[in-house]
Structure 1
Amino acid sequence: MSEVLACIDGSTATPAVCDYAVWASQRLQTSLTFLHVVDQTQYPQRSDLSGIIGLGTREHLLEELASADQQHSKQVLEQSNQILEAAQTRAVQAGISAPLIRQGHCNLVKSLGALEDSIRLLVLARHSATNDNVAEHVGSQLLNVVRTLQRPTLITCGDFIAPQNYLFAYDGSFTARKALQMVASNPLLAGLPCHLLMVGSDEAACKVLLNEAAEMIKPSASEVTIIWREADIEPSIRAYQLQQKIDLLVMGAYGHSRIHQFLLGSTTSQLIASSTSPLLILR
């Protein structure tokens, strides 16, 4: 696992994905690769139309249809190249010496699966209803990517803002402790203030776990703030993000806990949709 891999699609979210990927690459001091997937279901393929009644004797019409298909496919591939080259130029201007570009030719999940062993951090966008309609397959497959890949995933939303702090949603589970250890031993968030938030009915028990977590993250964070809330998880996270102007939300995914049920249940998409800041999901 050696590279930051940024999935781009040419939508209005692409500049932010590029900039967050550059930021992560520089923080991790690792290589950066941009991936654009040309999903072949998104454009027509050359077809055998000779069986359609009346077309079998019209050789010139069949040739014209095939030529039109080929021309459209060529245009789609050229557009993909332009998207990748623009991202590469943007990264170079931001200080990345040799960003790489890749083009995928199946769906996003399969394309990423083939590259998974080389990924240290995956960066891709959350699309909203207000985004343009250019190649929104990245957004539409986001949940499948998060569930399938076993790699840390940074989900962007809105414009790029270099994180100055982060909120870690903690539940005391084995998965949460492992995720916190990953953060503590990783340069990505080193030196930033950490807010540890836990939701539960027993304040005393939660604060014991939060204090233990604070000791784990103190060597990495510039300062640590612990927060206990009794309310439901999603509203508590969203409210605290807004109140404290949190730049990045961090969570360990798929633990055996309320967070586990929250992430795997029907509200998974609500978490991604409601976050007011980018979301880093650790596997």
Structure 2
Amino acid sequence: MLQSILLAVDRSPFSRVAAAYANYLAVELGAVLHAVHVDDTRLAEVGYYRAEGLGATMAGAASLSAHESRQGKRRNDNLLRPVRVRAMADGVSCHVRVLSGVPAREVLSVAENSDLIVLGRHGESWVAGSKRLGEVVNTVLRRATQPVLLAGTEFESFRRVLLGFDGGKAARGIMLYAMELAQRLTLPIMAVSVNANESKARHQLDIVEHFADAHGLQVTTCIGSGHPVETLLGMAQADDLLTIGAFGEGRLHQWLAGSTTATILQSAPQAVLLHR
């Protein structure tokens, strides 16, 4: 059951979209929302040479450090305030925390008691035009035991769940969450298998249909042909929730090198729900 949502925010525009999705799901699912911002302590390791030069006195550096610490705390509090205000307005139970440390490590640590992690597709260091996923997203996707929702480029209320299913362990795992969301959000669900072997694709979709029948759900299935990414994205509508297994039959090294999953994350404007 998706009862607790962890939202990790930073100062990127993608984070604001992630916050909208997290609040939307908390409202629709009646879930508790936990929002965190991690102050990256690695940034402090360079000291104040950049700001003051090598001739800075110890007293001056200490004064600057205290001042910037207070300023940083205010900025971090302001970053979480809109999340809390929106949640309160929508009747969502919301808890916010500012943490310090290595962002991905802290997010994974506090996520242990949550059922879903929500992140922006890119972080503060994102360069316009780049499709590379950020360090935090990469690490969380590799290590999280919970499903991870990566927000799309713009917020869209979901109108359908689109499940990309290859029959692997990760795909079977994400199917459970796709079905739960479809049921609790009262959404139609379409399952797609893209495989040149039509018999194998049909067998994969039979698994989905049998699971749906056992839980009183209706699912539309479709066998696709061609390149998996192009086929799935060609079927996707702007307000779909794409759901896929994060590593495609467990091939982690291929995912890191640029697999179907990575390509979808780099190309799809829609929100994507993943599970490994």
Calculate the TM-score normalised by the size of structure 2.
Answer: 0.83
Q: Which shows bigger deviation, 38-47 or 14-23?
A: 38-47
Counterparts of 2:252 and 2:105, CA distance in 1: 25
Answer whether contact 1:44 1:73 (CA < 8 A) is retained. Answer: no
Counterparts of 2:17 and 2:213, CA distance in 1: 30
Answer whether contact 2:40 2:100 (CA < 8 A) is retained. Answer: yes
Answer whether contact 1:146 1:153 (CA < 8 A) is retained. Answer: yes
Answer whether contact 2:38 2:103 (CA < 8 A) is retained. Answer: yes
Match of 1:62 in 2: 58
Counterparts of 2:58 and 2:209, CA distance in 1: 69
- Counterpart pick for 2:76 among 74, 80, 90: 80
**C-alpha deviation, 1:95, in angstroms:** 2.9
Counterparts of 1:82 and 1:154, CA distance in 2: 24
Q: CA distance change for structure 1 residues 139 and 93 in 2, over 3 Å: closer, same or farther?
A: farther
Is the counterpart of residue 281 in structure 1 residue 274 in structure 2?
yes
- Counterpart pick for 1:265 among 257, 262, 274: 257
3-state SS of the aligned residue for 2:207?
Answer: helix
Calculate percent identity across the aligned residue pairs.
Answer: 20
Give the aligned residue type for 1:275.
A
3-state SS of the aligned residue for 1:13?
Answer: helix
**C-alpha deviation, 1:5, in angstroms:** 0.6
Q: CA distance change for structure 1 residues 16 and 80 in 2, over 3 Å: closer, same or farther?
A: same
Counterparts of 1:211 and 1:194, CA distance in 2: 15
- Counterpart pick for 1:214 among 209, 216, 230: 209
Give the aligned residue type for 1:40.
T
Number of equivalences: 265
Give the aligned residue type for 2:257.
G
Is the counterpart of residue 130 in structure 1 residue 123 in structure 2?
no
Answer whether contact 1:45 1:73 (CA < 8 A) is retained. Answer: no
Match of 1:134 in 2: none
Calculate the TM-score normalised by the size of structure 1.
Answer: 0.81
What residue ranges of structure 2 are gaps of 5+ in the alignment? none
Q: In proportion to residue count, which structure has more helix?
A: 2
Match of 2:14 in 1: 13
Counterparts of 1:46 and 1:175, CA distance in 2: 43
3-state SS of the aligned residue for 2:146?
Answer: coil
Answer whether contact 1:169 1:197 (CA < 8 A) is retained. Answer: yes
Counterparts of 1:252 and 1:90, CA distance in 2: 31
- Counterpart pick for 2:116 among 94, 102, 121: 121
- Measured against aligned partners, the alpha-carbon deviations of 1:120-150 in whole angstroms (never above 9, x if no partner) come to 110010126439xxxxxx9442111110111
Is the counterpart of residue 94 in structure 1 residue 90 in structure 2?
yes
Match of 2:247 in 1: 254
Answer whether contact 1:18 1:90 (CA < 8 A) is retained. Answer: no
The CA RMSD over aligned residues, in Å, is 3.0
Give the aligned residue type for 1:110.
R
Answer whether contact 2:229 2:264 (CA < 8 A) is retained. Answer: yes
Q: CA distance change for structure 1 residues 205 and 238 in 2, over 3 Å: closer, same or farther?
A: same
Give the aligned residue type for 1:79.
R
Answer whether contact 1:6 1:17 (CA < 8 A) is retained. Answer: yes
- Measured against aligned partners, the alpha-carbon deviations of 1:200-250 in whole angstroms (never above 9, x if no partner) come to 111133123213312322566865222212212222222222xx4452100
**C-alpha deviation, 1:112, in angstroms:** 1.6
Answer whether contact 2:3 2:29 (CA < 8 A) is retained. Answer: no
Give the aligned residue type for 1:147.
R
Is the counterpart of residue 41 in structure 1 residue 39 in structure 2?
no
Answer whether contact 1:17 1:124 (CA < 8 A) is retained. Answer: yes
- Measured against aligned partners, the alpha-carbon deviations of 1:150-191 in whole angstroms (never above 9, x if no partner) come to 111000022221111011010122432333234334577552
What residue ranges of structure 1 are gaps of 5+ in the alignment? 132-137
